């Protein structure tokens, strides 16, 4: 299965993403520690934060991936780590969300670090364009899995009624490997109750982390053509 993030784009959608990112970055205050999310929408946020740093804002960022670290370095956003402190706010994207603020994350294979940073943050702000909105979540659930455990995790996902698809990459022959050195798969279900499935996946030994974020997001900034709707 190819990366589910290969979902096209277009200028209109990029503008919605940027609107959402700008709205979230406006919440950052002088002195804040900011969790830096991963993905194209979060990248807009890191770049917008960089502009505010240029104008004198005093912040430190905690990246959620090698990718977001690289963007922060390029934008001169000073960095710190969970060894030193925890974020006042994290700004990160999502692959899908529902009205209860359940999120599916991990299209960029960074959901394990993203969840660690989000759970450590005082305020969790999600940035999306309106195409991510769902009445019922049914997006494939990313799984970061210990390579050794793939057969037993596959079996458990199938017992839960899903299909287990190891994620592949065009960048090399073989599986997508996370920043933590584990393989990444997608668990595909027709539809699911996010809290119940999250509970089940929490209990699967060999799954380092899954991409269902339940009870974590405080607000979702939804970029639309005519502005940003903040869903709380």
Ligand X SMILES: O=C(CO)[C@H](O)[C@H](O)COP(=O)(O)O
Q: For binding to ligand X (CB under 6 A), which residues are involved?
A: 5, 37-42, 92-95, 105-111, 114
* Catalytic residue list contains 168: no
Q: Least distance from C-beta 64 to ligand X, angstroms?
A: 8
Q: List C-alpha distances in Å: 158 to 82, 149, 151, 184, 211.
A: 36, 14, 11, 16, 17
Which one of the listed residues 14, 51, 74, 114 is annotated catalytic? 114
- Is 215 annotated in a binding site? The answer is no
Q: Least distance from C-beta 97 to ligand X, angstroms?
A: 10
Q: List C-alpha distances in Å: 113 to 35, 109, 224.
A: 10, 9, 28
Q: Least distance from C-beta 77 to ligand X, angstroms?
A: 17
Which CB atom, from 30 or from 139, has the smaller least distance to ligand X?
Answer: 139
Backbone φ, ψ for residue 64 (5° rounding): -105, 0
CA angle 122, 129, 231 (to 5 degrees): 45
Q: Least distance from C-beta 212 to ligand X, angstroms?
A: 11
- Is 86 annotated in a binding site? The answer is no
- Is 132 annotated in a binding site? The answer is yes
Torsion, CA 137, CA 139, CA 144, CA 145, rounded to 10: 100
Decide: helix, strand or coil at residue 199: helix
Backbone φ, ψ for residue 122 (5° rounding): -70, -35
- Is 94 annotated in a binding site? The answer is yes
CA within 13 Å, CB half, 179 = 16
- Is 115 annotated in a binding site? The answer is no
Binding residue numbers: 38-41, 92-95, 105-108, 132
Kindly list the catalytic residues: 114
Binding residue numbers for substrate: 38-41, 92-95, 105-108, 132
């Amino acid at each position: 299965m190819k990366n589910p993030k290969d979902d096209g784009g277009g200028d209109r959608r990029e503008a919605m993403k940027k609107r959402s990112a700008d709205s979230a970055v406006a919440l950052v205050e002088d002195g804040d520690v900011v969790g830096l999310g991963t993905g194209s929408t979060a990248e807009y946020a890191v770049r917008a934060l960089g502009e505010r740093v240029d104008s004198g804002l005093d912040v430190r960022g905690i990246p959620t991936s090698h990718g977001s670290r690289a963007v922060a370095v390029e934008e001169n956003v000073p960095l710190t780590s969970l060894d030193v402190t925890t974020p006042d706010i994290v700004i990160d994207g999502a692959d899908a969300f529902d009205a209860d603020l359940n999120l599916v994350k991990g299209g960029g294979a960074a959901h394990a670090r993203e969840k660690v940073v989000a759970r450590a943050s005082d305020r969790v702000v999600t940035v999306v364009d309106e195409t991510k909105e769902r009445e019922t979540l049914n997006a494939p659930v990313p799984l970061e899995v210990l390579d050794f455990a793939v057969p037993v995790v596959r079996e458990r996902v199938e017992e839960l009624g899903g299909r287990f698809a190891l994620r592949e990459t065009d960048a090399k022959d073989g599986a997508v490997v996370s920043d933590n050195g584990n393989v990444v798969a997608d668990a595909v279900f027709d539809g699911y109750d996010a809290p119940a499935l999250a509970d089940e996946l929490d209990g699967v030994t060999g799954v380092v982390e899954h991409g269902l974020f339940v009870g974590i997001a405080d607000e979702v900034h939804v970029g639309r053509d005519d502005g940003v709707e903040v869903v709380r």
